[in-house]
Structure 1
């Protein structure tokens, strides 16, 4: 059975970064769900802050340096993507948007993507549906139903009888992405059969 490839993109600027922490925890949730399905997955977590200069140069010259080119190839060749950004001015960060501006507009078509964001207050959680989801919908990615926002106070909260805590949201989103990744058609599958299981899994997620 083919090993799956998951790439998690973290656009956090600080070190340590809550954005990177959220990316790591989401990746582990996906890995755990796939392990329960006896599926192997290779996970790569990318810190965009280490590529900031390369991203800027690529935007100007049109040519990515080798390290950035390798990350772009990893994203486009992956079976699933986790995209996590800090909230800047009520939207995704400029670094986050600049990186995805470098991805070929057709490269994410049909690819499962889990979107997530971090911020200082829960008031910015609408960034998920007002900024990130439209971005990846435009790129024709398949965005999993559960998006994850982590405010500062969420890290120490397990939720209560009225709200779902951050750990539960991470598990649910990770499970959704894992199921879509596992259902993606094999790269060599016949065209007539290649989307059947994937579309069935997507329909199941939408109407849970």
Structure 2
């Protein structure tokens, strides 16, 4: 089984690559088998992608990466959010991939940004892109703002990563994941018991 990971981070190290790696690790863990993981760093392909857009033909390096993505059994695609949408590099890569090459492919989408305000870009920009490409999208998309990587929000991000990764693993194996959300009230002591305890102590 082959898992492709496309990350459009522009710096090194990159929070976009970090999110992509965390998603891939969780998918591998939940697949129950060791897939071949191939990571495509779009930052390293920027010139090749631009040349392809101008000439209409990919060079050998870009061709190999396109083949790795289109030949995979599942895809993780993560982009930074710039000006409320995916990056131009991210969009340009999928422009040269072709609009039928991902038909029916299980895809998990993710994005990173400096503020939670940009999280809606996953649903109004990234998801429609892959719907147009006829990919089979995992229901859960993962957005990580700068504040999600530490403190109290880190656990919530980890939960979202595992839920989304489980959905992609399910799509790849044909066994859809059933995620039972945690009930925040399951450990709450009923009011009657609390009253009873108060009466005993008074």
TM bracket, shorter-chain basis: 0.7 to 0.9
Aligned length: 181
Give 2:4's match in structure 1, choosing from 4, 7, 17: 7
CA deviations 1:62-103 (Å, max 9, x no partner) are 111111101100111100000000001100000000000011
For each residue in 1:132-152, what CA deviation from the matched residue of structure 2 results, as whole angstroms up to 9, or x when unmatched?
000000000011000000000
What's the RMSD between the two structures over aligned residues? 1.9
Structure 1 residues without counterparts, runs of 5 or longer: 184-196
Contact 2:7 / 2:42 at 8 angstroms: preserved in 1?
Answer: yes
| Cα shift readout 1:43-75 (whole Å, capped 9, x = no counterpart) | 111110000000000000111111110110011
Residue 64 of structure 1 is aligned with which of 58, 61, 64? 58
Gaps of 5+ in 2: 182-202
Work out the CA distance in 1 between the residues paired with 2:81 and 2:116.
11
2:26 to 29, 39, 57: 29
1:182 partnered with 2:189: no
Alpha-carbon separation, structure 1, partners of 2:23 and 2:161:
6
The equivalent of 1:194 in structure 2 is: none
| TM-score (norm: length of structure 2) | 0.85
Q: Would you identify which runs of 4 or more consecutive aligned residues in structure 1 move more than 3 Å? A: 157-160
Cα distance in 2 between the residues matched to 1:104 and 1:124 = 27
Match of 1:99 in 2: 93
Out of 79, 83, 106, the residue aligned to residue 89 of structure 1 is: 83
1:205 Cα offset (Å): 6.0
Structure having the higher Rg: 2
Query: Are the counterparts in 1 of residues 147 and 153 from structure 2 also a CA contact under 8 Å?
Result: no
Q: Distance in 1 between matches of 2:134 and 2:46?
A: 25
